Structure 1
Amino acid sequence: MSFDTLGLTTEILSAIQQQHFVSPTPIQQQAIPLILAGHDVMASAQTGTGKTASFVLPILQQLSLIKAKLDKNKVIQKGKRRLYSVILAPTRELAAQIGENIRDYSRDLPIRSLVVFGGVSINPQMMKLRGGVDILVATPGRLLDLVQKNAIDLSTVKTLVLDEADRMLDMGFIHDIRRIINKLPTKRQNLLFSATFSPEIKTLSQTILRQPKVIAVSKENSTSTQVSQFVHRVDKRRKRELLSYLIGKNQWQQVLIFTRTKYGANHLADQLNKDGIKAMAIHGDKSQGARTKALANFKQGQITALVATDIAARGLDIDLLPYVVNYDLPHVAEDYVHRIGRTGRAQNRGQAISLVCVDELAQLKAIEQLTKTNMTEITTDGFAVDPTIQPKSGAKSVVSNKAKRPSSARYHHQK
């Protein structure tokens, strides 16, 4: 199947071609026709499947057809633009990425879009809204701030998108989402995208969606087959030393590293810089300017390592990212799926390496059970695990977890 068969306008097809996309992904093949037909959609798709374009393209198509009809009938819209679509995202980074996609695909269309989020001054955003916008991408809290200041009118909205709805619920946005929905027109199209169809997501969908078409392009909590997953057992005190060695020895030029805490991200970035590896940290305590600069430097190859926490990294879209390292395993197994989904995107392959100390064996077991994956274990000369170190109280023992690992056929060795 090609994009030509989806009924998109010439301008949109040209923009897609300029992005060097040849054929639609499975989520795009299924979602775009349903959205163009006016259906509510509830879709589950893992990161890197082309999810954003699956709702951005049909929204642009619908909006461009409306504008073309007005132009044909020589109808002049007086006053500021009427808001057509609201796209809600859980984080600043994801909102910015969606906005970038909208700009890329609407470059030849008379469509105005805007991205708004908290953590920066609201006044410039209010100024940009004075003339009106067609599509607004927003985090829930900042959208409510703008509504309360009468800077935005939601009464004309025709399409509502909840992107990464599961993460919005995890971050406690459910009340903000309900307040926003109460301010929207009753008659509208609703599109909900989530990594999983958890019970909470199903409950939310029942209150928002109307006879939705359900799409699931991959098994729940599955990881991409384009990502090779490895686990490297290492003593906790030697993790940073091992990480620096792997980056230097293998000449990694671009690696996204996950830590559990903001302090851990800052400390690791400082240590890597001392080791001669250019690194920056990105997390919720960083200003938006600092986060944007760090991401730009990483994409442009000015730094080798970007050290991130889960929330800050949600929604990061980095072309051709080859490596993801779990410096700390996440407490929530589902977050592992989102982390490694940063690599292996758009038909490209990637590697995910987890550095696991004895205290994290229970988390490793939970992740392997969730993803139904046995990660290949690798070793490195000089970094053998000290067998005398025991797990902290509450952590599973090495024996109980390791006993379930297959024979040495799974093991690889790095010199």
Structure 2
Amino acid sequence: MSDAISPGDHLRSLRHARGLTREALAERAGLSPGVVKKVENGGSARIETLHALARALGVRTSRLFDAGPPAPAREEGRDLSLMPLRQAIAPAVTAGGPLGADAVEPAPDLAAIDRTAATIARAYYADTYATVAELLPPLIRSAHIAVRHYDHGPLHERALRLRGRVLQMAGRYLVQVRAYDLAHIALADAVRDCAGVRDRGGVAAAVYQQGWLLLRQGRFDEAERVSVRTADETEPRISRATRDDLGAWGKLLMHASSAAARNNRPQEARDMLRLARTAGTALGGATARDDGSWGSFDWRTVAYQAIENHMVAEHPRRALALAERMPVAARHGVRFGRRHLLDVAQAHARLGQSDEAFGVLAALHRETPEWLRHQHLAADVAREARRARRRPLTKEQRLVAAALDAQ
């Protein structure tokens, strides 16, 4: 039997130290006493639930986590659809190196690798994940071959830079489909490649994706630290900064803010937002964009993060009030703000406004169904909105709930 301390053990210890009953803690956290009892008895809990409990106790969410044995889960390595990517990113190795490393190949075409990477970036942004999954494995193998073939000089540096970009894109896709362990390997290798050729933009992009991965895993302390450290290392001189410089820096600060908010560090979250607002202001009305790495950044990104932070702190009315101040074009029907729209839908659901919540989900489902089905938050919002609704769901609402598997 393991002696590891579970989140429930931490929760019970902290509750006792503060002299709280389960009922009192549940009231502070806005949860039922049954949920507190379940967590303390070793039951599973969502990150959001642990965050609410940690906030009620006045501690970082990470205080409730421990490196104890995980609960039984799907074996990631058994997902056959990821097998080609797994073989390309984490190949079997012998004493002589990875299998296939000694294969005879023609001289790699670096320009062709670059063009294919651009194709994958466009496919990812268009939510054409089947194309991404098809093209990534051979592209990664080509990038590995290029680095081995051009083993010195400017072409070696160019090959490393390209491989770093390709692995960063692979990590981004793998986080989206929740293949976290494989994503970590790809992103760690991407950071090393880019750092090896002093590609600060490439390092920032890979660390940004790593921050997203760490947030998904609930590793808030690490997500904040890597984002802040890399933002400090890449902070541009505002008067001379390019759009890419400002975008990469701003997006790193967004992840730092998000991690701090989830870790019950609201002042630090606000500090990061203030810094990011500097980047957004420097862009004026322009948008910095790199579809192959950190996506898009402008003043709206900062506002979206502020709204998300309000939702993390359980302030749905504040979130909606800020969302209402956003331009209509940014609130309806655009991909740039779709993650933000999930926060808006969740705020409506929290306030019992089920029709409004389902309305946002329906619009997203019509416009971007492939992306939406990978968002666990969307299914959670649909379930919450359904519980809040006193009347039967409409036909459209039932279709959205079914598409999200939130019946």
Shorter-chain TM range is: under 0.3
Q: TM-score, normalised by structure 1?
A: 0.27
TM-score (norm 2): 0.28
- Higher strand fraction: Structure 1 or Structure 2? 1
Structure with higher RCO (Cα < 8 A, 6+ apart): 1
Determine which structure has the larger helix proportion and give its number: 2
